[in-house]
């Protein structure tokens, strides 16, 4: 039988070949502590109208429910920090949405990853997940030794900051496991807490999702943004990067090398008036492969009106 460490070395080598920046491996266990924290967060209603967060609770905290016989959780991180910035006159868009929809990009990489594992190791039962599935990816990233969870709820790497997508591959083979990242390098810093204009970041690493600008501009579909938030969005039309932009660890962020994340020119250059004059047909054509389609044309128009005070 091939030793676990040989398979683990292959996993990490293949991750690099597929363009992932970091790869860590953790033993597949039930996340009891995370389950208690998630239950408390949900009970306090901090998920706002994101009722999907209440579903599939067992799947979120137990990888064996998602993949029967699960033994290992492989966590992969892909940098999305851009080399360019938006025109100051453009409504602000979160950096992760500058290029092609990351779900499409990473899902393709995960499918290839699982194919390669089966070709080189043997029959493997496994599933890949990126963001939209019921997986606590930041907890698994910490358990895989890739970083710590900051006060703003993001996974932070000492080497490269927090502008990363996190993907998860759960498999039913035993591998060599990395040590848990046990330290917390946020210390007494509270820059993200103090900078959040909607007071969404609370003490003890709790984020009130129902107060986050990203929630209002993306998740709050078909509803008006509460008037109490007027004047607090700082021109953010889709998502928000404030807590990451002020994080001292992001001084180590370096531009990504993923061609699919090359910014769509319109995201960098269109002014507020350009957006207001855009037709729905043009929106669908320009942003057909963009994360912006998640908020829909009507949602973005609503957001524009709100940040302009209309």
Which residues are catalytic, by number?
Answer: 131
Read out DSSP for 263-278?
A: PPHHHHH--HHHHHH-
How distant, in Å, are the alpha carbons of 82, 200, 220, 242 from that of 195?
22, 10, 22, 7
DSSP 72-140: EEEEEEEE---SS---TTSPEE-GGGSSS-HHHHHHHHHHHHHHHHHHHT----EEEEESSSS--HHHH
Q: Which of 294, 258, 306, 253 is nearest to 91 (CA)?
A: 306
**To 10 degrees, what angle do helices 4-17 and 102-120 make?**
140
């Amino acid at each position: 039988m091939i030793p676990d460490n040989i398979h683990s070395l292959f996993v990490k080598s293949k991750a690099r070949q597929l363009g992932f920046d970091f790869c860590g491996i953790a033993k597949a266990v039930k996340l009891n502590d995370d389950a208690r924290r998630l239950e408390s967060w949900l009970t306090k209603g901090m998920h706002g109208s994101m009722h999907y967060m209440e579903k599939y609770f067992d799947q979120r905290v137990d990888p064996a429910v998602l993949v029967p016989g699960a033994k290992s959780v492989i966590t992969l991180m892909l940098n999305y920090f851009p080399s360019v910035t938006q025109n100051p006159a453009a409504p602000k868009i979160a950096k992760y949405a500058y290029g092609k929809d990351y779900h499409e990009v990473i899902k393709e990489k995960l499918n290839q990853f699982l194919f390669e594992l089966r070709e080189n190791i043997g029959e493997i039962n496994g599933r890949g997940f990126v963001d939209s599935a019921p997986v606590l990816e930041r907890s698994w990233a910490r358990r895989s030794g890739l970083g710590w969870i900051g006060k703003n709820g993001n996974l932070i790497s000492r080497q490269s900051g927090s502008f990363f997508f996190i993907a998860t591959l759960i498999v039913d083979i035993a591998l060599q496991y990395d040590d848990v990242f046990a330290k917390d390098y946020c210390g007494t810093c509270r820059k993200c807490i103090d900078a959040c204009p909607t007071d969404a970041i609370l003490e003890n690493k709790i984020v009130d999702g129902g107060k986050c600008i990203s929630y209002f501009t993306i998740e709050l579909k078909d509803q008006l943004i509460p008037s109490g938030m007027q004047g607090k969005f700082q021109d953010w039309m889709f998502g928000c990067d404030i807590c990451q932009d002020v994080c001292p660890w992001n001084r180590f962020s370096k531009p990504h090398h993923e061609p699919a994340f090359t910014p769509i020119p319109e995201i960098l250059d269109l002014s507020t008036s350009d957006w207001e004059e855009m037709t729905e047909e043009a929106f669908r054509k320009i942003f057909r492969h963009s994360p912006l389609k998640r908020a829909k044309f009507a949602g973005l128009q609503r957001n524009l009106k709100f940040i302009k005070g209309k």
